[in-house]
């Protein structure tokens, strides 16, 4: 089902974005990254923000995290208005940003150290998370001894250590090869099911958005605005073979046609 921008925010939404715009000031002039964003995300939803490079996807994630302020509008997360950095989230970026002098387990444990949590309990959870992403035996490995996919698994475990109700992910699999990307998508869905999180996922991959999401938010080219919202009615748990099914193809075709209409895809005749 397709929905227009501007649907009223339901009471109790985990994320409520109302009339949000963002303009960056620069020496060569102002750049409007986002224009009048209205979006609500329910608790436990997996929502992907899909759009071309430069459309403001990552900017929107930074606004939700509180690391960057909005120029106009309001963002609420868990009924709390965001006016600064939100410590009640986990964030995973495209680059794993692991500390090279710390082992996999030590990198995951950084969350507990920074938050001054119970280190014994945190170590037990960190070990469990690494096991869930098939990194048992690599707890003592340093980043230089791990592949890109293994490093990103460590990054995801680090983001989940403090059991955040909201996980923000900014193209976390964009730099990985196709096979590793497929496996990490499966790992992510299993982690989400086991940890009952809301996920705000940034991607520029149409198949990835369809495979992972409950809803896909389509962003227009800059200044970014919400062009459409597509409900993805596919059963869970999802398997890689699902990508060959007619329903999956229908959604990828629908999203491709939206971007063709926006001029993002141009086919020469």
Q: What is the pLDDT of residues 117-144, one digit of tens each?
A: 999 999 999 999 999 999 999 999 999 9
pLDDT tens digits for range 45-58: 999 999 998 899 99
Q: What is the pTM of this model?
A: 0.91
108 part of a folded domain: yes
pLDDT at 258 over 70: yes
Same domain, 183 and 143: yes
Same domain, 28 and 67: yes
Same domain, 128 and 165: yes
Give backbone dihedrals phi and psi of 6, rounded to 5 degrees, phi first: 95, 15
pLDDT tens digits for range 20-44: 999 998 788 899 999 999 999 999 9
Average pLDDT (204-218) is: 97
| Residues 126 and 105 sit within 8 Å (Cβ to Cβ) | yes
Same domain, 99 and 162: yes
Among the candidates 151, 180, 204, a domain finishes at: 204
Average pLDDT along the chain: 92
Same domain, 74 and 6: yes
**What residue has token string 């998508």?**
185
49 part of a folded domain: yes
12 part of a folded domain: yes
The Cα 182–Cα 93 span in angstroms is 17
Among the candidates 162, 177, 204, a domain finishes at: 204
Same domain, 106 and 45: no
Among the candidates 148, 173, 204, a domain finishes at: 204
| Residue ranges making up the domain that contains 80 | 1-86
The Cα 41–Cα 61 span in angstroms is 13
Nearest to 206 by CA among 250, 176, 160, 266: 250
Same domain, 17 and 98: no
111 part of a folded domain: yes
> Any idea of the CA torsion for 102, 108, 114, 120, to the nearest 10 degrees?
-100
Same domain, 200 and 99: yes
157 part of a folded domain: yes
pLDDT level of residue 219 (50, 70, 90 thresholds) = very high
Q: Write down the pLDDT at residue 269.
A: 55
Same domain, 79 and 103: no
Strand order in the sheet with 89-92: 2-3, 226-231, 215-219, 46-50, 198-203, 166-170, 89-92
Same domain, 134 and 75: no
The token pair that represents 245 in the structure block: 């099914």
250 part of a folded domain: no
The tally of domains found in the chain comes to 2
147: domain CATH number is 3.40.50.300
Q: Percent of the chain beyond pLDDT 90?
A: 82
126 part of a folded domain: yes
Q: Write down the pLDDT at residue 5.
A: 39
129 part of a folded domain: yes
Same domain, 42 and 80: yes
């Amino acid at each position: 089902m397709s929905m227009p921008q501007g649907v009223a925010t339901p009471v109790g939404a985990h994320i409520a974005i109302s009339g949000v715009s963002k303009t960056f000031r620069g020496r060569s002039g102002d750049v409007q990254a986002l224009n009048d964003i209205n979006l609500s995300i329910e608790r436990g939803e997996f929502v992907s923000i899909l759009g071309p490079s430069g459309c403001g996807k990552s900017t929107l994630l930074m606004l939700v995290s509180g690391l960057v302020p909005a120029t106009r509008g309001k963002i609420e997360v868990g009924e709390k208005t965001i006016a600064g950095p939100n410590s009640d989230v986990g964030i995973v970026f495209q680059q794993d940003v692991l500390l090279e002098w710390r082992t996999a387990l030590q990198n995951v444990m950084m969350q507990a150290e920074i938050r001054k949590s119970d280190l014994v309990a945190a170590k037990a959870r960190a070990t469990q998370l690494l096991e869930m992403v098939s990194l048992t035996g690599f707890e003592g490995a340093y980043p230089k001894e791990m592949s890109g996919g293994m490093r990103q698994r460590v990054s995801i475990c680090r983001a989940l250590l403090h059991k955040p109700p909201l996980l923000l992910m900014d193209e976390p699999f964009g730099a990985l090869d196709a096979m590793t990307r497929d496996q990490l998508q499966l790992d992510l869905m299993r982690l989400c099911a086991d940890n009952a999180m809301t996920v705000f996922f940034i991607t520029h991959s149409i198949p990835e958005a369809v495979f992972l999401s409950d809803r896909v938010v389509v962003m227009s080219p800059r200044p970014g605005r919400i062009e459409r919202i597509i409900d993805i009615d596919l059963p869970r748990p999802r398997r890689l073979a699902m990508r060959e099914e007619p329903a999956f193809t229908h959604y990828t075709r629908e999203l491709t046609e939206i971007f063709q209409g926006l001029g993002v895809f141009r086919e020469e005749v």
